[in-house]
């Protein structure tokens, strides 16, 4: 079947900026774009604050992890973990001891086993919070970006991640994905989602953002960020743009180090600021800070999380943002390299933060803030200012009226047939065909019936979806092919490569799932050896789309980008390879040549279709 370069390209930076300017998406927000305040509601909330003790006020500023599937009856291993890390036995005890204003869910903390358990946990947490003297409901949060960052897995609906949506380029699909995700989170009692990622990924070597970003074009990213804000918040869940002032041009992971971004102020305005401006314009509920240093924005070289010039001077005063500011996790190394764990929360509040997320030692952090207020370093009025923003958000979400969820809504909302069908349709519009020089695709069941699926099998982001090779095998089987899966890992040794080569002989085609291939990667050696068998090889990048730069010259017959290894995106890739769907995605980032990174191999907007 003849191929053509897709005409469905993403907006160019100029065209997108023009379109966004016409809708006001990138304009500096005016006071009218801020969250409207209700005088009577504010009076009620201020009365609540006036009746709180200092300890209760400080507790409201913290959002904390806790181990266990239940608020009151966790497993013994989780009780032990809570005692070791937090000094309490249960989530209910955490709430009564520290009066925390929020809880964050993690898969590894055993908070997200299944939908009904999650809803029961949320209800248990809210009951514990309302039993306290202040009777304040909780903000229950998680990182449900979809794609490679996903805390709630199947049977909840899994959706394409940010860069996949960027490849689709559809504002309606992007908003629809967030609306579905938000509706399911709300049904589970999760009312604050740390998404979307508003970073502009202009550095292919970025180790922590990558496909979590919508792309490299600031205007295109800004447009899609605004759509996700509307989708999440339209479903009744607080949305969070991250990581301010922009984590897209780093080569250091802030989980393990302190990145420095050397953008000039003008470059920041051009590259990093537009998505955050768009989020503010869309009346986003919360914005998350980044543990990064941007000398052009703050010459003190404090991380942005602790920088008053960045958080108050730029975010509050210049961008006009008056919503909740939440830190990235305070357990990350990026915020702990310069100051001790007792100083970090104090400095964050002085910088303009409202919520202090997941400190490594809650007792140290909580007591440090109490002492700072008692000693006059932080005024109680400053604390009240943050609590008012937090309570306004809880009020907007309806938590004062009814913070509980019903098991009936869980069953009819989470993972519904309509949501799953929509996710599949959206995913089909994101898969990108990068190269097919011999017009091999789509594969025919008559001429390419017997397939071998090999390659990398990274761990599932939610812990519930199958490894890529198995998922692709099953997807091809459902499409009428005979398929065999062989996991070779991200660094196959010679024995594993030889096993794959032997398995490939006599097959009609080989599909290889690649994961962050480099010039010296054993994955490249694997692909080269498979090509040498004479069997056509189709490469599917299951994370960053840059893999093709290192596979050029190996002789692969076709290359695609799936942008994630979750089931929904891999099933879509299989349907595209088999011709059951047209590859409609286009690159939202440029792919540079591996031998000369100054030269672009495939530009933004590149993509082929059948």
Active-site hit among 78, 328, 474, 567: 328
Question: Residue with structure tokens 């249960």?
Answer: 90
- Same domain assignment for residues 511 and 542: yes
Q: What is the pLDDT of residues 389-413, one digit of tens each?
A: 999 999 999 999 999 999 999 999 9
- Same domain assignment for residues 396 and 488: no
- Same domain assignment for residues 347 and 462: no
**Lowest mean per-residue pLDDT among 27-31, 251-255, 519-523, 555-559:** 27-31
199-219 mean pLDDT: 95
C-beta of residue 143 within 8 angstroms of C-beta of residue 65: no
- Same domain assignment for residues 91 and 178: yes
Is residue 419 in a domain? Answer: no
Active-site hit among 3, 35, 255, 580: 255
In three-state secondary structure terms, 288 is strand
Q: What's 533-575 look like in SS3?
A: CCCCEEEEECCCCCHHHHHCCCCCCEEEECCCCCHHHHHHHHH
- Same domain assignment for residues 401 and 542: no
Is residue 120 in a domain? Answer: yes
C-alpha distances in Å from residue 123, one per residue of 86, 104, 475, 514: 22, 14, 37, 41
- Same domain assignment for residues 385 and 513: no
Which of the four pLDDT bands, split at 50, 70 and 90, describes residue 4?
Answer: very low
Is residue 14 in a domain? Answer: no
**Lowest mean per-residue pLDDT among 5-14, 472-481, 531-540, 592-601:** 5-14
Domain closes at, from 380, 413, 446 = 413
358-377 mean pLDDT: 98
Residue 260 pairs in a beta bridge with 293
Residue 514 pairs in a beta bridge with 541
- Same domain assignment for residues 407 and 507: no
Instruction: Give φ, ψ of 511 to 5 degrees.
Output: -110, 125
Q: CATH number of the domain at 519, please.
A: 3.40.50.1700
Q: What is the pLDDT of residues 115-167, one digit of tens each?
A: 999 999 999 999 999 998 879 999 999 999 999 999 999 999 999 999 999 99
- Same domain assignment for residues 442 and 403: no
- The pLDDT assigned to 34 comes to 57
C-beta of residue 165 within 8 angstroms of C-beta of residue 176: no
Residue 20 has pLDDT above 70, yes or no: no
Domain holding 536, by residue range, is 431-609
Query: How far apart are alpha carbons 359 and 387 in whole angstroms?
Result: 18
Which of the four pLDDT bands, split at 50, 70 and 90, describes residue 431?
Answer: very high
Q: What is the pLDDT of residues 309-362, one digit of tens each?
A: 999 999 999 999 999 999 999 999 999 999 999 999 999 999 999 999 999 999
- Same domain assignment for residues 382 and 487: no
Catalytic, 450? Answer no
- The pLDDT assigned to 2 comes to 36
Which of the four pLDDT bands, split at 50, 70 and 90, describes residue 13?
Answer: very low
Strands 558-561 and 432-435 turn out to be: antiparallel
- Same domain assignment for residues 409 and 438: no
Instruction: Give φ, ψ of 428 to 5 degrees.
Output: -60, -30
Catalytic, 328? Answer yes
Is residue 423 in a domain? Answer: no
Which of the four pLDDT bands, split at 50, 70 and 90, describes residue 242?
Answer: very high
- Same domain assignment for residues 393 and 453: no
Is residue 210 in a domain? Answer: yes
Is residue 317 in a domain? Answer: yes
Query: How far apart are alpha carbons 230 and 8 in whole angstroms?
Result: 24
Domain closes at, from 379, 413, 447 = 413
**Total structural domains within the chain:** 2
Is residue 13 in a domain? Answer: no
430: Cα separation from own chain's centroid:
17
Domain closes at, from 413, 448, 472 = 413
- The pLDDT assigned to 3 comes to 40
Query: How far apart are alpha carbons 376 and 276 in whole angstroms?
Result: 33
Residue 451 pairs in a beta bridge with 483, 509
Q: CATH number of the domain at 300, please.
A: 3.20.20.300
Is residue 398 in a domain? Answer: yes
Mean pLDDT of the chain: 93
- Same domain assignment for residues 448 and 387: no
Query: How far apart are alpha carbons 80 and 51 in whole angstroms?
Result: 35
Residue 19 has pLDDT above 50, yes or no: no
């Amino acid at each position: 079947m003849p191929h053509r370069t897709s005409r469905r390209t993403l907006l160019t930076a100029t065209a997108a900026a023009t379109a966004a300017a016409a809708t006001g998406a990138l304009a500096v927000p005016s006071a009218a774009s801020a969250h409207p305040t209700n005088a009577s509601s504010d009076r009620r909330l201020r009365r609540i604050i006036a009746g709180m003790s200092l300890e209760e006020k400080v507790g409201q500023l913290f959002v904390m992890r806790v181990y266990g599937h239940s608020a009151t009856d966790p497993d013994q291993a989780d009780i032990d973990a809570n005692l070791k890390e937090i000094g309490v036995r249960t989530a209910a005890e955490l709430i009564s001891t520290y009066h925390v204003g929020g809880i964050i869910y993690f898969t590894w903390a055993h908070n997200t086993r299944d939908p009904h358990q999650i809803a029961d946990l949320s209800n248990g947490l809210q009951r514990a919070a309302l039993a306290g003297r202040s009777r304040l409901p909780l903000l229950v949060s998680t990182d449900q970006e979809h794609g490679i960052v996903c805390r709630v897995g199947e049977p909840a609906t899994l959706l394409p991640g940010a860069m996949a949506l960027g490849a689709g380029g559809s504002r309606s699909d992007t908003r629809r994905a967030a609306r579905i995700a938000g509706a399911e989170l709300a049904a589970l009692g999760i009312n604050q989602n740390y998404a979307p990622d508003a970073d502009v990924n202009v550095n292919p070597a970025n180790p922590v953002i990558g496909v979590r970003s919508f792309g490299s074009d600031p205007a295109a990213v800004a447009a899609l960020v605004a759509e996700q804000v509307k989708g999440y918040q339209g479903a009744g869940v607080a949305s969070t743009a991250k990581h301010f002032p922009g984590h897209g041009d780093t080569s250091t992971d802030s989980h393990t180090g302190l990145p420095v971004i050397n953008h000039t102020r003008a470059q920041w305005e051009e590259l990093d600021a537009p998505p955050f401006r768009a989020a503010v314009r869309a009346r986003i509920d919360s914005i998350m800070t980044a543990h990064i240093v941007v000398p052009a924005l703050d010459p003190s070289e404090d991380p942005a999380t602790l920088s008053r010039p960045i958080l108050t001077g730029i975010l509050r005063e210049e961008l006009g943002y008056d919503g909740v500011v939440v830190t990235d996790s305070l357990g990350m190394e990026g915020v702990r390299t310069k100051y001790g764990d007792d100083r970090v929360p104090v400095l964050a509040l002085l910088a303009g933060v409202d919520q202090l997320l997941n400190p490594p030692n809650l007792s140290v952090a909580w007591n440090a803030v109490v002492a700072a207020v008692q000693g006059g370093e932080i005024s109680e009025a400053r604390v009240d200012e943050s609590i008012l923003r937090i309570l306004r958000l809880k009020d907007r979400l309806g938590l004062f009226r009814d913070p509980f969820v019903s098991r009936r809504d869980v069953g009819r909302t989470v993972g519904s047939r309509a949501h799953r069908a929509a996710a599949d349709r959206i995913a089909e519009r994101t898969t990108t065909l990068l190269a097919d020089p011999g017009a091999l695709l789509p594969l025919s069941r008559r001429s390419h019936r017997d397939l071998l699926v090999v390659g990398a099998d990274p761990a599932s982001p939610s812990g519930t979806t199958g490894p890529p090779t198995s998922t692709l095998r099953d997807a091809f089987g459902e499409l009428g092919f005979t398929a065999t899966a062989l996991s070779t890992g991200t660094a196959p040794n010679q024995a594993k490569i030889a096993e794959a080569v032997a398995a490939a002989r006599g097959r009609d085609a080989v599909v290889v799932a690649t994961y962050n291939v480099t010039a010296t990667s054993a994955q490249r050696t694997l692909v080269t050896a498979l090509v040498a068998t004479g069997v056509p090889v189709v490469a599917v990048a299951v994370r960053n789309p840059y893999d093709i730069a290192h596979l050029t010259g190996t002789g692969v017959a076709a290359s695609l980008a799936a942008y994630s290894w979750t089931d929904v995106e891999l099933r879509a890739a299989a349907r595209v390879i088999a011709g059951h769907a047209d590859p409609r995605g286009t690159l939202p980032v440029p792919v540079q040549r591996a031998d000369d990174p100054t030269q672009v191999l495939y530009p933004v907007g590149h993509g082929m279709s059948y």
